[in-house]
Every structure is written in C-alpha cells, then in structure tokens.
C-alpha cells in the first residue's frame, strides 16, 4: 500500500503520542510527508524528550491533555484529518486494581474521541486495541472490548458525517513499556531470579514495525466499524525467558545456567492463553494473507464490507496455544530484528 500518497498533506493527531506505539506511529508518519502531526498526551516530560529527539521537524505540534477531557481533546483535534487513538491504561494488574480509572480512560476516553472526531468531522479514527479484548477475563480486556464496540457503534451513530471509525487488535508488542522483555532483562541484569507467572503460558507477539504497519493498513482499508487483527505467531514464556537469559546473562559475568527461574503464578485477570478471535467473531470475519477483518455484527445498507482477495475466515476460536509457536532460534531472531537484544547488551 502507498502510505505516502495517503498521508501526504494530511493533518494527523496521535493520542498517547509519547507512548511506545504512539511514538512509533509518529516516527513512521514523518517519512510520509503529512502537513502536521499533533502529539497529544498528558506527560510533559516525555513530550520534552520527544521534541528534543525530533528537533528540527517543523510539522510537529505538542499538546498537553488527557482523553478524559472532552473540551481539550476537541480543541486539539480541530481541523484534523486522521486520528490514531493509542492513549490507554494498558497494564492488566493496574486496571484490575483500579477499575474505575480504567473505565474513565479506556471507555469514556474513547467516547470522548468519538464525540470530538464527529464534532470536527475528522476523516478517519483508528483505535488501538488488544487481543485481551477477545473473550476478556480482565478489566483491561473488558474495557478495551467496550472501546472497540464504541468505535463500531460510532459508524452507525455518526449520521451523515464523513468520519470512518475502526479498530486494530494487537498481541504483545515486543519491547513495549511494561512488557515481559524489558522486565526479564532488568531482572537478569540485576542478578535477580526471572519471575515467570506460568512457564506454560503462551502469548501472541509482534514487533513495533508490524504494529505500526497494521495500523496504517487498517487506516486505508477501513470502511467503518471493523476490527483489524494481524495473524501473529505465539511464544511460550518459558522459551522467551530462556532466550533472554542466554543473550544477556553474560553481561554480568554470569553463566546462563546460574540464573534462577521462579514461577509465581498467574496474576489477577491473566489467562494462560490469549485469543485473537472468538468463535462468534470468526463467524463474521474475513481473512487476508496476514490479516483478519472482523466485520460489525450490525448490517448497515450503505456500508459494503468487501476487500480485494478477502475470503471467509475459518469458524472457530484462535488461541495462542494453537498458533504457530516460535522456536528459541526464531525468538532470538525476532528480538534481534527489533533491536531488543542490542538494547539488552547496552543495558
């Protein structure tokens, strides 16, 4: 797909634009010649660091604000063509122990994004969601499922406004803040035991570049209300821990065999295996070579959900324990390709 043709000259706003995925979107966007990229987040320190890193980019704008504040969000969105909504509470334990806050940010924040986008008649809004929204067992997953449903409902709620709303559903983006990769690395380099919740646990994984590419594909393909899901491999957490121990233990002069692995049990809200699509969702999903497209359960006459080369998806659940599982060698290659082993050595 020609991202440059699509984004050239457009005004883009990224909520949570200083976060791991949000900043990845911003950096890639800049190469496609948008007119302006507005970075909307509540962390002034990260904004200052990002402004320094990207110094000289005249088409960057920084807005302090919170998606909980509709008035501020609407002002920041004025005149924008494309909105990437990445701001969220993302950590399962934090949401589990602070469910009221998760509702405020993940659900009401999404409602504010919808209302602001309709008020300014933005062209497209793309929500970043999570595989934890499929058959959720956690507050975080349930709140992101509700956010997806708001994006879908907005397609039918918008009336004659031009705005197209859609969602993308991620697995675990390797290296993101709070993900297991940097946590395991810190534990290894601090001479602590690697703390596994469950060695048999499996997770869908993807790199940051794959996540951003999925977002951009969805932006162009979206007709309104869909959830786009990348076909991802999975990893077994015990294999991931072994690869990271082998790659980083020597930095402290320790042999990999001397690093202890401790199983601590699953945390509240966690599943042993994640799910991309439920059986019900698969029954209305389409499939491309690398993507599933989950079409809305509501039929709406003026939206035709047809895409080049799309076919009906297999009906069934899509669990991480049944997906192609990366070997230790493949995990190492994936981490290296995303610069994460290099970071481990530098640490």
Whether residue 197 lies inside any domain: the answer is no
Q: Which among 327, 171, 173, 317 has a CA at the least distance from the CA of 236?
A: 327
Q: Give me the percent of the chain exceeding a pLDDT of 70.
A: 97
> Which element (helix H / strand E) includes 164?
strand 164-170
Name the residue range of residue 57's domain: 3-171+205-232+277-316
Distance CA 43, CA 306 (A): 40
pLDDT in tens, 246-257: 988 877 777 888
Residue 177 within any structural domain of the chain: no
Q: What's the pLDDT tens digit per position in 172-227? A: 998 887 678 888 888 888 878 899 888 899 999 999 999 999 999 999 999 999 99
SS3 of 206, please? strand
Mean residue pLDDT across the chain:
92
- Residue 341 domain flag: no
Is there a domain that residue 255 lies in?
no
Residue 185 located in a structural domain: no
Q: Tell me how crowded residue 174 is: count the other CB atoms within 10 A of its CB.
A: 25
Query: How many domains in the chain?
Result: 1
Give the model's pLDDT for residue 199.
87
Please give the structure tokens belonging to residue 336. Answer: 């290296």
> Does residue 35 sit within a domain?
yes
Q: Is the pTM of this model over 0.85?
A: yes
For 252-292, what is each residue's pLDDT tens digit? Answer: 777 888 888 999 888 888 999 999 999 999 999 999 988 99
Question: What's residue 254's pLDDT?
Answer: 76
pLDDT of residue 313: 95
Q: What is the CATH number of the domain that holds 34?
A: 3.40.50.720
Catalytic site residue from 10, 11, 90, 132 = 132
Q: What is the b/e burial string over 238-253, where b = at least 16 CB atoms within 10 angstroms of the residue's CB?
A: bbbbbbbbbbbbeeee
Catalytic residue status for 132: yes
pLDDT of residue 346: 42
Structural domain contains residue 164: yes
Band the pLDDT of 301: cuts 50, 70, 90: low
Residue 3 backbone dihedrals phi, psi, to 5 degrees: -65, -35
Does some domain include residue 72?
A: yes
Residue bearing the bigger pLDDT, 119 or 338 = 119
Cα torsion 162, 218, 237, 96 to 10°: value is 0
Residues near 280 by beta carbon (within 8 Å), at least 6 away in sequence:
none
What was the pLDDT predicted at 258?
87
Q: What is the pLDDT of residues 110-126, one digit of tens each?
A: 999 999 999 999 999 99
């Amino acid at each position: 797909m020609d991202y440059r043709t699509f984004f050239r000259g457009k005004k883009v706003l990224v909520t949570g634009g200083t976060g791991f995925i949000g900043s990845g979107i911003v950096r890639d966007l800049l190469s496609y010649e948008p007119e302006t990229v507005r970075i909307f987040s509540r962390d002034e320190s990260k904004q200052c660091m990002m402004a320094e890193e990207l110094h000289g980019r005249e088409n960057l704008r920084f807005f302090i604000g919170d998606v909980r504040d509709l008035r501020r969000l609407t002002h920041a969105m004025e005149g924008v063509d494309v909105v990437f909504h990445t701001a969220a509470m993302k950590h399962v334990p934090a949401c589990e122990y602070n469910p009221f806050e998760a509702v405020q940010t993940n659900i009401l924040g999404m409602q504010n994004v919808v209302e602001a986008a309709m008020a300014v008649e933005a062209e497209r809004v793309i929500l970043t969601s999570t595989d934890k929204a499929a058959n959720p067992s956690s507050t975080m997953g349930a709140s992101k499922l509700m956010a997806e449903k708001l994006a879908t409902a907005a397609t039918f709620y918008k009336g004659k406004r031009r705005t197209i709303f859609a969602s993308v559903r991620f697995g675990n983006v390797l290296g993101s803040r709070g993900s297991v990769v940097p946590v395991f690395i810190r534990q290894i380099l601090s001479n602590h035991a690697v703390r596994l919740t469950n060695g048999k646990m499996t997770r869908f994984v993807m790199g940051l570049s794959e996540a951003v590419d999925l977002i951009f594909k969805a932006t162009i393909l979206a007709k309104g209300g869909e959830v786009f899901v990348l076909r991802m491999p999975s990893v077994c957490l015990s294999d991931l821990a072994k690869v990271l121990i082998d790659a980083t233990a020597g930095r402290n002069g320790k042999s990999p065999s001397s690093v202890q692995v401790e199983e601590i049990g699953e945390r509240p809200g966690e599943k042993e295996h994640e799910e991309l699509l439920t059986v019900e969702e698969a029954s209305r999903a389409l499939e491309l070579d690398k993507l599933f497209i989950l079409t809305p359960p509501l039929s709406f006459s003026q939206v035709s959900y047809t895409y080049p080369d799309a076919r009906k998806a297999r009906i069934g659940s899509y669990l991480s324990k049944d997906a192609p599982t990366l070997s230790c060698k493949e995990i190492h290659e994936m981490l290296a390709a995303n610069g994460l082993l290099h970071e481990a050595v530098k640490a």
